[in-house]
Structure formats: structure tokens, C-alpha cells
Amino acid sequence: MANTVKIFDTTLRDGTQGEGISLSVEDKLKIAQKLDSLGVSYIEGGWPGSNNKDIEFFTRVKDLKLQHAKITAFGSTRRKETLPENDVNLNRILEVGVSVATIFGKSWDFHVHKAIQTTLEENLAMIYDSVKYLKSNGLEVIYDAEHFFDGYKNNPDYALATITKAQEAGADWVVLCDTNGGTLPHEISAIVTKVKQTLAVPIGIHAHNDCELGVANSLAAVMAGAEQVQGTINGYGERCGNANLCSIIPNLQLKLKYNVIEEQQLASLTKVARYVGEIANMHMPVNQPYVGAAAFAHKGGIHVSAILRNSSTYEHIVPEQVGNKQRVLVSELAGQSNLLFKAQELGLEFDTNNEQTKLLIEQIKQMEHEGYQFEGADATLELLIRSAYGKLEDIFTLESFKIIVGKSETHPVSSEAIVKIRIHGHTEYNAAEGNGPVNALDNALRKCLVKYYPGIQDMHLVDYKVRVLDEKDTTAAKVRVLIETTDFHSTWSTVGVSENVIEASWMALSDSFRYALLGRTPSGALPEEQKERLGVINH
Amino acid sequence: MANTVKIFDTTLRDGTQGEGISLSVEDKLKIAQKLDSLGVSYIEGGWPGSNNKDIEFFTRVKDLKLQHAKITAFGSTRRKETLPENDVNLNRILEVGVSVATIFGKSWDFHVHKAIQTTLEENLAMIYDSVKYLKSNGLEVIYDAEHFFDGYKNNPDYALATITKAQEAGADWVVLCDTNGGTLPHEISAIVTKVKQTLAVPIGIHAHNDCELGVANSLAAVMAGAEQVQGTINGYGERCGNANLCSIIPNLQLKLKYNVIEEQQLASLTKVARYVGEIANMHMPVNQPYVGAAAFAHKGGIHVSAILRNSSTYEHIVPEQVGNKQRVLVSELAGQSNLLFKAQELGLEFDTNNEQTKLLIEQIKQMEHEGYQFEGADATLELLIRSAYGKLEDIFTLESFKIIVGKSETHPVSSEAIVKIRIHGHTEYNAAEGNGPVNALDNALRKCLVKYYPGIQDMHLVDYKVRVLDEKDTTAAKVRVLIETTDFHSTWSTVGVSENVIEASWMALSDSFRYALLGRTPSGALPEEQKERLGVINH
């Protein structure tokens, strides 16, 4: 079918060139499995000629039995003045046993002279020989024309000659790369159109985001006839990143009506994006298009009123199409309609005219002024709303805690916590060690609670963030601690603010336990409807 | 001149709708001053009809004596079935004393029916009356056609009728808004072209980033004839943000050769972007195009080798044109050429063949494996390199520290630290309180050092970040602490990794002091060449 676009994912290769990204073989295998389930056509696993970690990946990925995606190995054309059969880099691609090879060569005359320092003729021979060698060994060959657009702008005839050579040697695909990310959509469109008039082989696009146009450039190329798009999950990659597949896929499929992946695969996009972000240990920007936590979040009071009337007035797609959902943020800007929405989500009767509501709004404004942020801490917000409406039974109260952390030349660092709470009419007093002060606090509080609520053994912290609020006040500044906790059924977030990182951590930690205990009966397991509720209101 | 584009900044209004963004009047005034120096034509200060904070801004901004930008106040067309002279919202715009009003009205018939619930005729009258009223009071009027593109796609005649009404009433500008951010560049291009054939008044574009196309859509509109671009610094704004002026301005000016701002103003873009990020207390994504710390950073060994040969081979513009600079990241992927580059920056002789260098590379790889990241911690990296080459005098060594943090029902939280170090043959032993444990440590260590180095009084922490490294290991997971310190001359970053947040903080804190003491003589001030060096190697 003419309007099918194949997705080539290079998160595991070009994506790892991004600042702060480093993936173990284990990480890469997990991501490959997710990419396969998302329905991409090609997964570029790494550069076997460049490092051993990548070789291990190619060996182990065979055991995964992927359903959909072909695994491809990356490499360059042969070195100048050698034979391809003597080229270690090309032979590594053959050795790792993939069915698809992706090799890059030079398109820009300037680079031929400056970077590889050879003649224009030798570069054409390098391209031809390398593609031919891989084809003669039975591989599907994707030829990545590095710097194609810069090369074309500088010397169109030579740039076209390089990809014509790749076609002559039998390449299955010619992929035009905007390696430096400096090309604009109208240029991409004109140059891809020209290439389509010159070549018969299917064309792909590989764009970077240096002008914040990686997605636009990919779309422009497809509209001019490209049938393969290379990119990465969340746009990871060197400098400003590669073209972001998490935006390209829904744009192509939902807006331009190309066949890319299945409908139910598209509905897993948000989950896949966040999973890869977690594995890569990269913070997901809340404002990321389509898959970010704020992509369908509404803050302005006027918008929120309209959304309560009709959802489609302020949303460009139905969020569930990409597995995301609508969310309303609580903020001083928004007025009462946002809190109303939140309360409705919780199934609480919320009368904007009564005294309790007004006090609650004042309290939230005051806390926001002190540095609290509830946008990322739904569980703390729920506790506040429940408390205002008398719907919160305070299961435990703090009497005291103390933390001692010490280190010397002869002793490694140690952390101890002592916690004293009142619970169900008793005083519980426990000490615990930990790998750090927050862990020690967590352990000591757990010891106090677990004999009443054994079910809390299941819950554990999954993220712990500290933000200095007023940078002008040095180390004495206020800090905000955000804690994310999971119990396998769901995940919830809590917040604490203090000038003291330990106190802020205590606040967030104790809110997390309070939230987990909502609706629990002493010594009882988590009731079914509790699981349900947690699943609904958290994200 | 035909190829001049005016920039309309709405960071202070639409930008504050972004998740996590909240600006005080003081913040807004500081940002307004920076925007003026950047050379934008219009600064939208807020919505005086919506909140009092905005009214205070309009009063106080008059004292700033801006050189270049006009201040504009935002509002909506009159309410249905009222007279404009009785409309509180319109009168507030007059009362705050601006010379430019920006009002929005409905273009989409669906919204007229569903959101404001009136007739199509009344909506046209609302637009006409409101523009006319503001014009008759002597204001320049910018008419923002909300949801214009969605409206046009649904009912082109009605959408065109609404902006024709604004023109008839005397609007100075008609700005076409892609309010939901769902429109693609080729649609923007076609619709703006159509509008240009219909209207004589100058056209502007207001795009959002929901499809990751905010920048592309703004460029497409300009190329189709729009002469004003509305957007925000760093693309702040509701959901996925507004169109990002930090990418639009250099794209228009450097790539498309429009007249936008002066050359030296463009060279301040990175500084302005980071300043606004700091005031808004928003983390700057390192991969942000043009102005991000990684926008011209190179990690792959192959690229770095090429850059050492010729800088322009892998950069689409000269980074200094937008006030940014080239940077080379150290990483296990990159091999020796990156470390070589770093050492050259430090002015160290770096022989890749000697034993020291090989040991250093092994040490860095091992530390990266343990969770260190040097990409954001240049000062720690410099200490390691200096240490490997015997160029680091270790001024102090730790004997022990202890931290005690306590809180009870009757006592607020308290933090104490005891630090014992050896320095210049003496043992220094000091205790200090602090607003938190890290602050207490900082204070106690300072007490030990200050009598030898009084100059360290100048330095203070500006950022403190904690990252949980292996989320699967609960609160016992390893954490990485990044500390950023300034001494007014420059800023440097250090890193520590441990399972214990206090120990990791101690590592980063003590590295920060060690770095600050480099080249200092006891009781001496910072030598001039030290300031110079710090200025060069930090970013």
C-alpha cells in the first residue's frame, strides 16, 4: 500500500548518544521488547564494530522471539583503500547474525575531504563496495546517507551520485539524514521530491531536532514520498535529540491517515514512552506532546469550565487514542472549577459555596505560596480534600523522630532513625538502620505500623525528588520533596516542603503511608474497591 | 520592510498557564526587562480583568522605562448582550493604562454555540463592538482569533467573517490562533495564504506545541505572509506549551533571513532563556534547541574526533550567534578523544598513551558504572583529571562527620553537624546548626576552613539536586547528588554518589570546596587568573 510508513527505531543506538543516557544490555533488551510490542518495523540495536556491549545485545536479543520488528546492526562503509571483506566493522555486522544491516556513508563533498580525507571517487567506491558486500551475504541493506541535505545544498550532483551508487549496489532503502539538524521543512520537502525523481529505491528520512523541527521535517519528507522514518522514543539523541517517534507516529496516523501501527498499539504509546524514560532513567518532561503528563492537562479556570461542559473544545485528539488521559491541575490561577473537577474525580460532594470549601481553597493557596505544588502530588491533595470534608481518619500521629548519620576515616557511613508515634491508642517506639536517613526513617515508621497493617509490606518508594525552591538562599533554602510510591496495584505521589530536607522527606513519607492506609482495616489486606479507586485517580 | 517579523511575547500571560509555572509580580517585572533587552516588540503582561496580581504588574512596569517593547494587556471580547462600555473586562484594559490591547474572540462556530452559548450574529457583534470601543479610546488593538484554524476547517466562511469584522472595526492586527495545537504546517500554510487573500490588515500567528509542531507552524505562517509571531520563552504554556520563541527567533533570523532582532540581541538569547528559566524556577532541558546546555554538546567519539579537526562539520550554526557554546561530554561511549578535548580546555598536557591517562580512563569508566555522571559536574571531573596528573594539592582531608536531625511534638525540627578535618597540619573540629542537614554540614565545614581561607565566605550553593539511581531498590537505592556553587565570578558543579543522601551530599559539597580552593593561597583572595580560568571552563 502506498500510504504505509515504516518506523525505524534507533533509541538503542543514536538515542544513547544523548546527554545523560546510558543503557545496559539488560536495559536494551527490555526496551527492544517494548518497541516490538509497539509495532515498529526496525530496531537498530547498536554498533557492533564500536563496542562489546552491543555485541552481547545482538546475541541475547535472539532469545526474545520478537513478533514484529527486525533487528538491525549499524556500521559505516568500509575504510578507505581497503577491501570490504577485510573490513572489521562490516564483518562484525555479519558476525552478529542480523538480517538487516544499516550502514552510513558520506554525501557531503566537504566531509569527504575534511572528515575522512579521501577523494570523491574513493568515497563512491566505498559506498558501492560496502552495500554490495552486505547484499552478497544475503542481508537487507539500509543505506543512511549522512549529511545528505547539507551535502545536497553544497553540491547536489555529488550528493545524488552517492545515493545512486548505493542503489546500483542493491541497497533496499536509501535514508536521507539531516545529521546536523539544521535543515528546514520546505528544504526537506524540495530535496526529497528531487530525490524521488532520481531514484527508484524506497526513501527514508532521519532527522534531528536542532531547530526544533525534527518532527516537522519527518512529516515533510513523508508527504514528499519518504516511506520510512527513523527516530527515537521521546526524541532521545545527541545534542537536541533525534526526531521524536512519540510525536511522529500519532501525527502520521491520526492526522495524516497513514498506516503506521495498529490502533491498539497506538493506545500503548504513552505507556511505552514512560517505560523507556524509566529504563533510561530520564525525567519525562510533563509538557511532552501526546505522552506527557500535562499533554492533556488544563490549568486556566476558563478552559476548565469549558471542559466540564464539553471535552473536545480544548483537546486536539481524544487522549486515550495514544493511551494518555485528561487531567485538571489545581493552581491559584484556576479558581474553584479545577478543585471541583478534582473532587468529582474523587467522588466527593463539593459545594463551592460552603465554608469548608472556601477554607480549603484558602489553605491550598497558602500552601502553594509556601512552595507546595500539588500538580505532581495527587495523594497529598486528596488527603487535604478528605481532611477538609471530615473524610479522613488520622490513623497515626507523630510524637518525635531523630536521625543520626555518621562517618569517619575508620567507619563507613551509618544512618539510624528513631520514631515515636501514637496509633490506635498505643505508643509505638522503634529504631531502625537504613542505607540513608530517609530509608532509616521509612524502616522505623514501617516497624511501628506493620503489626497493625501487615499489608504495607507491599508498598515501596519508586522515586524521591528534591527541589531547592529559592536558590538565592543557599543551602538554607526551602526544599520540596516529592515521593512516588507503589504497591504493585497503583502508584501515588506525595509532597513535603521545609527548609530541612529530612523534615520535608518525613512529611512526604508519612503522607504516603497515610494514603496507603486509606480505607484499610487493621491487619486487613487492601480491599478490592480500594485497588480500583487507586487505579482510577492516580496516573 | 516586507521581511520584518515582529515578536509578541506572552510568557507572562499564556506562559504562566504551564504546569509548574507561577510568577510573582517581582518575577514578572524582571522578565519584562530581559524581554525588552532581547528586542521583542510586544510584551503581554497579563489579564487585568482576571486577577489583581496582573493589575499591580501594569502599574509597576511603567517605572521600568522599557526601551523597545510595548506592553499589552489581554482580555476577551465583551460579554454577550452587554454594551462594551459596561464590560468590566474591557474597562480594566483601559484602566491599567497600556497603549496596546490584545483581545480574543471566537472564530469556531462550534465554540460560539457550546462554550459561550450565543448566536453566530451576536458573536460577530461582540468582536466588532469590542475592537471599536478600544480603538475609539485610542489603543492599538491586536485581535486574537481563538481556535481560528479549527474554526476555518469546520466553517471557513464564518471563521473569515469573524476576522473581517475585527478588520472593519479597525483592528491593527489579526492574529490567527491554533489554540488546541492540533493543526499541521501544510494546513497553516494553506489557511494563512487564504486569509492573506481576504484581509488587508497585517496577520500574526499564535501556535501551540501539542503536535510538537509549534515552531514549524509559526515558520509556515510567516512564509505564507504572517508578520507577527506570538510565543513564549522556552515554549512555556499550557499542556505542551506555546510556540517556543527561543527556536523561532534564530530560525527566522539565521535560516530564513528575516529581520527580527539585532545581531547582538540574538547573541543574548541563551542568557535570556536561562534567566527566565531560573526566575520561573523551571529546569532547563539540556537538549533544548539553540539554548540548551547540550545543544552544541558532542558525545560520540567519532563526532568528537571530527570536531577536533573542524568545528563546522557537526554544527548547524556557530553557537556564539545565539550566545551558546560548544561542549564535549565525557562518557564511556566516547573513548579518549573526549577526555583529550576536556584536558585541552583545562590547558593540561594530555598524552593518551601514558599509564596515568589509561588509569584515569579506567577510573572514570568505573565511576560512571557506579552511577556518577560527569556531564553535569565539570568541577569534580577537573579534580579527577588534576589528581591523576599530580596537579591537585589536597588541602583538607576528612576525619569524621556526624549529623543529628530531630523533631518532636513540642520542638520544631533541628539539625546539627559535627565535622573534623585535617588541614595544613592541624586538626579542625567544629559543630554548627543549620536549616537542614546539608546546610549544617556546609556551615561546620566552612567554620573549619574559613580561618585559613576567608575568601570562601563569597561562595554559596545555588542548586542541590538529588536523583534516585536504581528505582527498583526502594529508599535504599543509590542516590546521586549534584551541587552547583557560585562565588559571583563563576559557577561550578560537583557530584557525589552513595546509598546515603547525606554522604553523597558530603562528597559533592567537599568537592565544591576543594574546587573553590584550587590555586588559592591561605588567607589570600582569589587571584585574577583563577577568575579567568573559572570563567572559561564553566558553563
Domain boundaries, chain A: 6-279, 297-388, 396-537
- Domain covering A6-279 assigned CATH 3.20.20.70 in the classification: yes
Identify the pLDDT of residue A18: 86
Contacts 24+ apart (CB under 8 A), B465-468: B465/A466, B465/A467, B465/A468, B466/A464, B466/A465, B466/A466, B466/B501, B466/B504, B467/A281, B467/A465, B468/A461, B468/A463, B468/A464, B468/A465
Length of chain A: 539
Min Cα–Cα distance to chain B from A500, Å? 4
Q: Which of A258, A240, A241, A238 is CA-nearest to residue A249?
A: A258
- DSSP state letters, B426-439: EEEEEEEEESSHHH
Identify the pLDDT of residue B524: 44
Identify the pLDDT of residue A525: 42
Q: Helices (DSSP H) in B68-155: which residue ranges? A: 88-95, 109-114, 120-136, 148-154
The β-bridge partners of B422 are B397, B427
Q: Are A354 and A388 contacting, i.e. CB atoms less than 8 angstroms apart?
A: no
- Residue of B19, B181, B501 lying closest to A436 (CB–CB): B501
A332 contacts in chain B (CB < 8 Å): 22
Contact A502 B368 (CB under 8 A): no
Distance CA B10, CA A300 (A): 15
Q: Among residues 83-122 of chain B, which lie with CB inside 8 Å of chain A?
A: 110-111, 114-115
B244 contacts in chain A (CB < 8 Å): 212
A439 contacts in chain B (CB < 8 Å): 474-476, 499
Contact A436 B314 (CB under 8 A): no
DSSP-derived letter for residue B116 is: S
* Cα-based angle B163, B168, B169 (whole degrees, multiple of 5): 95
B503 contacts in chain A (CB < 8 Å): 405, 407, 413, 436
Identify the pLDDT of residue B300: 55
Amino acid in position B132 = K
- Domain covering B396-537 assigned CATH 3.90.850.10 in the classification: no
Residues of chain B with pLDDT under 70: 1-2, 281, 299-312, 329-338, 350, 352, 375-376, 468-477, 488-489, 521-539
Chain B within 8 Å of A310 (Cβ-Cβ)? yes
Distance CA B513, CA A491 (A): 39
Q: Are B5 and B260 contacting, i.e. CB atoms less than 8 angstroms apart?
A: yes
Distance CA A160, CA A197 (A): 11
For residue A74, give Cα distances in angstroms to A103, A314, B142. 6, 43, 53
Chain B within 8 Å of A415 (Cβ-Cβ)? yes
Identify the pLDDT of residue B382: 87
Q: Which of A321, A318, A364 is CA-nearest to residue A340?
A: A364
Locate the DSSP E strands across B359-509: 396-408, 414-423, 426-434, 460-468, 479-486, 491-498
- In angstroms, the first-to-last Cα distance of chain A is 38
Q: Are A247 and A316 contacting, i.e. CB atoms less than 8 angstroms apart?
A: no
Block residue for cell numbers 489581554: B74
Chain B within 8 Å of A315 (Cβ-Cβ)? yes
Min Cα–Cα distance to chain A from B258, Å? 14
A398 contacts in chain B (CB < 8 Å): 407, 409
Closest residue in B to A112 (Cα) is: B313
Distance CA A360, CA B201 (A): 48
The β-bridge partners of A482 are A465, A495
Contacts 24+ apart (CB under 8 A), A396-399: A396/A421, A396/A422, A396/A423, A396/A448, A396/A449, A396/A510, A396/A513, A396/A514, A397/A421, A397/A422, A398/A506, A398/A510, A398/B407, A398/B409, A399/A427, A399/B408, A399/B409
Min Cα–Cα distance to chain B from A99, Å? 25
Amino acid in position B363 = Q
Tally DSSP H helices, then E strands, for chain A.
19, 16
All cell numbers assigned to B373:
555522571
Identify the pLDDT of residue A11: 98
* Two domains, one topology: A6-279 and A396-537: no
Q: Are A436 and B501 contacting, i.e. CB atoms less than 8 angstroms apart?
A: yes
Identify the pLDDT of residue A474: 43
Answer positive or negative: Cα dihedral of B256, B260, B266, B271: negative
Q: Among residues 208-247 of chain A, which lie with CB inside 8 Å of chain B?
A: 209-216, 219-220, 223, 235, 238-241, 244, 247
Interface A-B: count of C-beta contacts within 8 A: 358
- Residue of A215, A317, A407 lying closest to B401 (CB–CB): A407
Interface test with A, best of B21, B333, B402, B435 (most A CBs within 10 A): B435
Distance CA B91, CA B524 (A): 62
Query: What is the CB neighbour count within 10 angstroms for residue A536?
Result: 12
Q: Which of B469, B497, B470, B471 is CA-nearest to residue B483?
A: B497
Closest residue in B to A314 (Cα) is: B180
Contacts 24+ apart (CB under 8 A), A439-443: A439/A415, A439/B474, A439/B475, A439/B476, A439/B499, A440/A403, A440/A415, A440/A416, A441/A401, A441/A403, A441/A417, A441/A502, A441/A505, A441/A506, A441/A509, A442/A509, A442/B474, A442/B475, A443/A417
Contact B479 A295 (CB under 8 A): no
Residues 6+ apart with CB under 8 A from B302: none
Identify the pLDDT of residue B432: 96
* Cα-based angle A122, A127, A132 (whole degrees, multiple of 5): 125
Distance CA B201, CA A97 (A): 64
A179 contacts in chain B (CB < 8 Å): 314
Block residue for cell numbers 551558546: B324
Closest residue in A to B288 (Cα) is: A240
DSSP-derived letter for residue A136 is: H
The β-bridge partners of A217 are none
Tally DSSP H helices, then E strands, for chain B.
19, 16
Min Cα–Cα distance to chain B from A354, Å? 23
- Do β-strands B426-434 and B414-423 pair in parallel, antiparallel, or remain unpaired? antiparallel
Residues 6+ apart with CB under 8 A from A248: A7, A215, A218, A219, A229, A231
Residues 6+ apart with CB under 8 A from B412: none
* ipTM of the modeled complex: 0.74
Distance CA A416, CA A443 (A): 10
A433 contacts in chain B (CB < 8 Å): none
Walk along chain A (539 residues) and give the pLDDT tens digit of each residue.
459 999 999 999 999 988 878 788 888 999 999 999 999 999 999 999 877 778 889 999 999 999 999 999 999 999 999 999 999 999 999 999 999 999 999 999 998 998 888 999 999 999 999 999 999 999 999 999 999 999 999 999 999 999 999 999 999 999 999 999 999 999 999 999 999 999 999 999 999 999 999 999 999 999 999 999 999 999 999 999 999 999 999 999 999 999 999 999 999 999 999 889 877 867 788 899 999 988 998 765 555 666 666 666 778 999 999 999 887 765 544 456 667 777 777 777 767 677 888 788 888 877 877 778 776 678 898 898 888 888 888 889 999 999 999 999 889 999 999 999 999 899 999 999 988 898 899 999 999 999 899 888 888 877 777 776 654 444 456 788 888 888 766 778 899 998 888 999 999 999 999 999 987 766 544 444 444 433 322 22
